[in-house]
Structure 1
Amino acid sequence: MQQMLEKTAERLCVAVTSDWPKTAMNSIELSVTTGFDGASGYVNPQQKFYDEENDDRSPYQSLFVCGALIIQLKSLSNPKYLWNNPTPQSYRFFRPLKIAHQKEDNEMALEEYNRLGEEIKHLKPFKFTMGKGVTVMVEFSVSRTLFDGKNVNAIVGNKATQRCPMCLITSHNFNNQNVFIPKEGSLSHGLGLLHCEIKIFDHLLHIAYKQEVKVWDVTKNIKESVDLYAGQVRDRLYNAFKIRVDQVIQGKGTSNNGNLARKFLDRPKDFANALDIDEELVCNLATITKVYRSALEIEVEELKKFSDFTYKLHYIKYPWARMNPSMHKILQHGPDIVRQFPMPVAFYAEDALESMHKIHRETIREHSRRNSRENAILDTFNRAVYLSDPILSMVYLDRRREMHKKRPLTNDITRFLKPGQWTDPEDRSNED
């Protein structure tokens, strides 16, 4: 980690500090957030590696990725000089720390989390000289937030997947309590915004599937009628959005992902009408996710009141529907998590880490040597290094901004944001 952060700081200073005065370069802080994730489905090549006796071992079909996402570079000697990552969910600023053919499990997640903690504890300031003899001293600020729900459960020791990893209350009791006190230290692991969006989308789908029987646990005697109505719901969604949802993909779960969830939540009224469920609930959930995605400072108390109202509205409208832990987390613990970090929570989301799996699959398939596994994984790591190089990424950034779809900040979003962060709510684009 020390070596990668030093190289990152050096390249980032060259890319973004050309107009900073020498006094601002005396002391600089580089903020990053780290985390890890595993993925399966990496297909073994057809030919045999010369250094492997058995090419079909299952660990080689899984890839474990650990890395650091650049958040901010700021001058400590002159605070008005700073640079924030303009695309915090882009893999272009995700620096790899470790790539290995290892199968992710709870024991490994906890071991890797502790290893990152030890490396963070022993980080040292970095001093180097830029062009024209400018001496720069860089300090590092490192968070650990790039985790999905499974890894957070492993880190906090929560063995029940239907129990909130923050307050350790089971989903059966979410409707029976008014106060949810988080476990000490659990809020520092971030919101897991990408997976919260997917889980909210899945939850709304299943409310629609089961609203005729009004029973959350589907038993054998009602399964046929629920499946029949679920097919009708999917057909309505396809007619409204021209997108097929909830398709089973062998070895990967379903086709529901973050892009799909945002696509539907961007049009909450149409989504609610297609599902035939309460429009206010869907609109409120869409607003909350967009506020967190805005990458702007939030009026936490206002958002807390709105989240509490939405939480109660859910159980008023659908008392039989059992909320999943991720949806509970964003509504009950989201505002408290916001208070844990100096930057908006969108900067600490895990999108970039998840995006790297697609890049790594392409690299292993198209850009790596096939003569040994060591060379293949080395080529994968090296390509991830230069794809995330700050200087090259800044060149790519302008083209990304032109291609990126503009999402205006509407009044229902701006009322939860601190004023003075945008010029015109109708024109400013949300560059998440």
Structure 2
Amino acid sequence: MESLITNLDLFVLLQSECSENTSFNHEVLFSAVVSRIGDCLSAEDCVTLKEFCRRFSRAASQRWQKSNRFLGAFRKLYEKWLEANIDWPSCVRTLVHQEPTVDEMPRASSVSPEPSTSTSVGTMTKRPRKPFIDLGSKQKKRRSDDHTGEDSTELAYTAAARLKEDGHGNIASVIEYMLKNPEAATKINETLKKPVKTVIFTPEKALGLLLSLKLSKWQYITLRETAIREGAKDIYPSYYKVQQTKVDCYPPKQSMSVTDSSARITLQALLDITVTRILKSLSNEMQNKQLKLISKWGFDGASNQSRYKQKMEGQQDDSSIFMTSLVPLKLTDGDNTIWTNPKPCSVLYCRPVQFTFVKESEAVVLELKKQMDDEIEALVPTECGDSNRVTHQLMMTMIDAKVCTYLSKARSNASCYLCLAKPTEMNNLDAVTSKIVCSDLYEFGLSSLHARINCMECLLHIAYRLDFKRWAARSDEHKELLQTRKKNIQDKFKDELNLMIDIVKQGSGTTNDGNTARKFFEFPKKTAAITGLDEDLIKRFAVILQAITSGEQIDAIKFKDYARKTAEKYVTLYDWYYMSSTVHKLLIHGADIIQKNNIVPIGTLSEEASESRNKDFRRYREHHSRKRNRQDSNQDVLNMLLVSSDPLLSAQRPRLDAKKKQSFFAETLDLIKFQETEFEFFDVSNLEADSELESDSESDKENL
């Protein structure tokens, strides 16, 4: 009979005898085997052979089902089992393993090296030769020894030609390049040995990326799944891990109180979690340190909030919000600075203390001020680990002039809350400098963001009145002149500097914002030409404003002298228009305020962070909060405010904007105490001349 040597031979026999629609039947296999060995078995041997066929059919059927009845998968999964010899029962082993006669032996030339695909039994008289790619390293070397005596260059050329025939042109081109340029082998070898660096985001970095790109949950999951489909499986952690990272940013749950109309964190808990996260962001571990964290705080109101349909307790209204914020500035160890806030005027470190849906008023300000004073008084040092101890110093500087008026004895925003000078007295420099000043209120700082805007508005109001030179336009004629000149100035700013000046915005003040004021003072020559004001006075204001917003220490003596001369020039030129309270505070009291708060640069005490936080509040409330009830919504907003200002995450967030060098007037640099910061000088006249040439060339192109 034809030989049945391996399990594959027996499986092929079983499969050929059974139809495709029926399972493997051991009776069919038994009959097929008996028909090949002849009717020479005893009854006892038949029982033994039938039991063997039953066990083999069952094993083959189980493997066939696990490979989903697919022949390729079946042979790949059970290759070793199929190539193993059949373990025949002893009663039939001699009958099955009969050696073929000489006439039955196949010739060597007729044996195919490829595995047989025949479904008939008995055709495999010799084990098929494996493809070269399926061999192990030792087997490949053994088979390659057949070509030992041949020329290596000829072999490489032959391999390249064969690869092209098989459709592997890229590999063939590499071999041909190596044959022509053998010196490149060293570089290629070094490249292959270099480990492939895969960028993997930690949960903290992934959360920082999510915050910087303002991604929603769905957007982050989509980004991660897209990366996985493209083969970058482990770049982004799962959103579950990102959520767990958010929890690390929260203070203890018992320290947070959330109602339908407000949310609050105890000041002690907020400072504790802030210090902990700052220390984690530092690379060097510190032990047995007596540290001090200097922070600024303040509150600000914002109206025109979205009104939701959710039920609200009492008769309260959610159209206005009043929020208290805190920004850590510096962590010190005696005279040594351990950590400095890299962006003290940014929302990246602006921590939420509380927010309440209530309209800003004097009563609300006084109540919240008292609550904060009580909590500051009750503060205890933060214990970090077993050895570090951190005390706290808070400076109330993130407030505007309105809040300063509420907290002082001044009865009007037009009066100075420091010396109580009235508007009609402010141009009398000798009189105001002799007034008694409440030096305790120097701690409120200069409110540098509003100072720039208010100085711009003061100069604009002078420009509007140059035709009649009166502080107040009372007659119809003066009112008409004021409106005509105002319209003319607005149009010129729009045409020449692309600025919208003094235009009322529905529900949110006017277009006079910080960016508008920056550009107003950036080009004194153009501003003077448009407004008709003295160019030197505009430049002096620009120098003073640059100095107080630079974030660098200021020489208080030089500043006082420069501000005094600016005030004298103002009074000489425009004595008919009273200084605004902001201009008065800046020119008369600015140097004393800088000297009082010299523990940090006056520019870092700006209220800009709390003002910008109002935009974040609107966005978090709309896109990142549950709307099923007000309490859950407020909790989600508070959580987002905490996560987005976490010091550890902010330190790891990607920098999406290039760091720009600060540009100052030469006079500004004279007022600044030089530190390590690099400054860039520019000549204002040359800068403005260049801009004029650019505008002329653009107009010429339009005419062409």
CA distance in structure 1 between the aligned counterparts of 2:457 and 2:615, rounded to whole angstroms:
22
Task: Return the match for 1:10 from 266, 276, 290.
Answer: 276
Kindly indicate whether the alpha-carbon contact (under 8 Å) linking 1:299 and 1:417 is maintained by their aligned counterparts in 2.
Answer: yes
**Residue deviations 1:324-351 (CA, integer Å, cap 9, x gap):** 1011111111110011121111111100
SS of the equivalent of 2:325 reads: strand
Kindly indicate whether the alpha-carbon contact (under 8 Å) linking 2:503 and 2:510 is maintained by their aligned counterparts in 1.
Answer: yes
Kindly indicate whether the alpha-carbon contact (under 8 Å) linking 1:100 and 1:377 is maintained by their aligned counterparts in 2.
Answer: no
Q: 1:19 corresponds to which residue? A: 284
CA distance in structure 1 between the aligned counterparts of 2:337 and 2:475, rounded to whole angstroms:
63
Deviation at 1:161, TM superposition (A): 1.6
1:280 aligns to 2:532 (yes or no): no
CA distance in structure 2 between the aligned counterparts of 1:107 and 1:374, rounded to whole angstroms:
25
Equivalent positions of 1:21-420 (< 5 A) are 22=286, 26-45=289-308, 48-49=309-310, 51-52=311-312, 59-76=317-334, 79-129=335-385, 135-178=387-430, 179=433, 180-221=435-476, 222-341=478-597, 342-396=599-653, 399=655, 402-420=657-675
CA distance in structure 1 between the aligned counterparts of 2:678 and 2:511, rounded to whole angstroms:
38
Amino acid at match of 2:464: Y
CA distance in structure 2 between the aligned counterparts of 1:327 and 1:368, rounded to whole angstroms:
42
CA distance in structure 2 between the aligned counterparts of 1:424 and 1:243, rounded to whole angstroms:
27
SS of the equivalent of 2:663 reads: coil
CA distance in structure 2 between the aligned counterparts of 1:37 and 1:281, rounded to whole angstroms:
32
SS of the equivalent of 1:10 reads: helix
Kindly indicate whether the alpha-carbon contact (under 8 Å) linking 1:93 and 1:393 is maintained by their aligned counterparts in 2.
Answer: yes
Deviation at 1:423, TM superposition (A): 4.6
Amino acid at match of 2:417: P
Kindly indicate whether the alpha-carbon contact (under 8 Å) linking 2:661 and 2:678 is maintained by their aligned counterparts in 1.
Answer: no
Deviation at 1:297, TM superposition (A): 1.1
CA distance in structure 2 between the aligned counterparts of 1:98 and 1:165, rounded to whole angstroms:
26
SS of the equivalent of 1:137 reads: strand
State the TM-score, normalized to the length of structure 2: 0.56
**Residue deviations 1:204-251 (CA, integer Å, cap 9, x gap):** 111111111111211141211210111001111112211211111123
CA distance in structure 2 between the aligned counterparts of 1:259 and 1:423, rounded to whole angstroms:
23
CA distance in structure 2 between the aligned counterparts of 1:276 and 1:370, rounded to whole angstroms:
53
Q: 2:686 corresponds to which residue? A: none
Kindly indicate whether the alpha-carbon contact (under 8 Å) linking 1:296 and 1:421 is maintained by their aligned counterparts in 2.
Answer: no
1:52/1:299 CA distance change after superposition, 3 Å: closer
Kindly indicate whether the alpha-carbon contact (under 8 Å) linking 2:330 and 2:337 is maintained by their aligned counterparts in 1.
Answer: no
Kindly indicate whether the alpha-carbon contact (under 8 Å) linking 2:318 and 2:357 is maintained by their aligned counterparts in 1.
Answer: yes
Kindly indicate whether the alpha-carbon contact (under 8 Å) linking 2:594 and 2:602 is maintained by their aligned counterparts in 1.
Answer: yes
CA distance in structure 2 between the aligned counterparts of 1:323 and 1:30, rounded to whole angstroms:
38
Kindly indicate whether the alpha-carbon contact (under 8 Å) linking 2:661 and 2:679 is maintained by their aligned counterparts in 1.
Answer: no
CA distance in structure 1 between the aligned counterparts of 2:619 and 2:441, rounded to whole angstroms:
35
CA distance in structure 2 between the aligned counterparts of 1:282 and 1:215, rounded to whole angstroms:
20
CA distance in structure 2 between the aligned counterparts of 1:391 and 1:3, rounded to whole angstroms:
17
- Higher relative contact order (CA closer than 8 Å, sequence separation 6+): 1
Deviation at 1:19, TM superposition (A): 2.6
Kindly indicate whether the alpha-carbon contact (under 8 Å) linking 2:446 and 2:586 is maintained by their aligned counterparts in 1.
Answer: yes
Kindly indicate whether the alpha-carbon contact (under 8 Å) linking 2:423 and 2:579 is maintained by their aligned counterparts in 1.
Answer: yes
Kindly indicate whether the alpha-carbon contact (under 8 Å) linking 2:543 and 2:665 is maintained by their aligned counterparts in 1.
Answer: no
Deviation at 1:425, TM superposition (A): 4.1
Query: How many residue pairs end up in the alignment?
Result: 411
SS of the equivalent of 1:309 reads: helix
Amino acid at match of 1:357: N
CA distance in structure 2 between the aligned counterparts of 1:61 and 1:365, rounded to whole angstroms:
14
Unaligned regions of 5+ residues in structure 2, if any?
1-266, 683-704
1:266/1:407 CA distance change after superposition, 3 Å: farther
**Residue deviations 1:54-95 (CA, integer Å, cap 9, x gap):** 8xx66310011001111101223xx33422212111011111
Amino acid at match of 1:169: A
Deviation at 1:153, TM superposition (A): 0.4
Deviation at 1:164, TM superposition (A): 0.5
Kindly indicate whether the alpha-carbon contact (under 8 Å) linking 1:110 and 1:155 is maintained by their aligned counterparts in 2.
Answer: yes
CA distance in structure 1 between the aligned counterparts of 2:613 and 2:281, rounded to whole angstroms:
23
Deviation at 1:280, TM superposition (A): 0.5
Deviates more, 1:164-173 or 1:375-384: 375-384
Amino acid at match of 2:548: Y
CA distance in structure 1 between the aligned counterparts of 2:546 and 2:469, rounded to whole angstroms:
29
SS of the equivalent of 1:403 reads: coil
Kindly indicate whether the alpha-carbon contact (under 8 Å) linking 1:168 and 1:183 is maintained by their aligned counterparts in 2.
Answer: no
SS of the equivalent of 1:248 reads: coil
Kindly indicate whether the alpha-carbon contact (under 8 Å) linking 1:11 and 1:389 is maintained by their aligned counterparts in 2.
Answer: yes
1:99/1:81 CA distance change after superposition, 3 Å: same
State the TM-score, normalized to the length of structure 1: 0.91
CA distance in structure 1 between the aligned counterparts of 2:583 and 2:537, rounded to whole angstroms:
13
SS of the equivalent of 1:61 reads: coil
CA distance in structure 1 between the aligned counterparts of 2:596 and 2:317, rounded to whole angstroms:
36
Unaligned regions of 5+ residues in structure 1, if any?
428-432
RMSD: 1.8
Kindly indicate whether the alpha-carbon contact (under 8 Å) linking 2:464 and 2:482 is maintained by their aligned counterparts in 1.
Answer: yes
SS of the equivalent of 1:352 reads: helix
Amino acid at match of 1:69: V
- Structure 1 residue ranges (4+ consecutive) displaced by more than 4 angstroms after TM superposition: none
1:34/1:423 CA distance change after superposition, 3 Å: closer
CA distance in structure 1 between the aligned counterparts of 2:466 and 2:299, rounded to whole angstroms:
37
Deviation at 1:424, TM superposition (A): 5.0
Amino acid at match of 1:203: C
Q: 1:430 corresponds to which residue? A: none
1:92/1:326 CA distance change after superposition, 3 Å: same
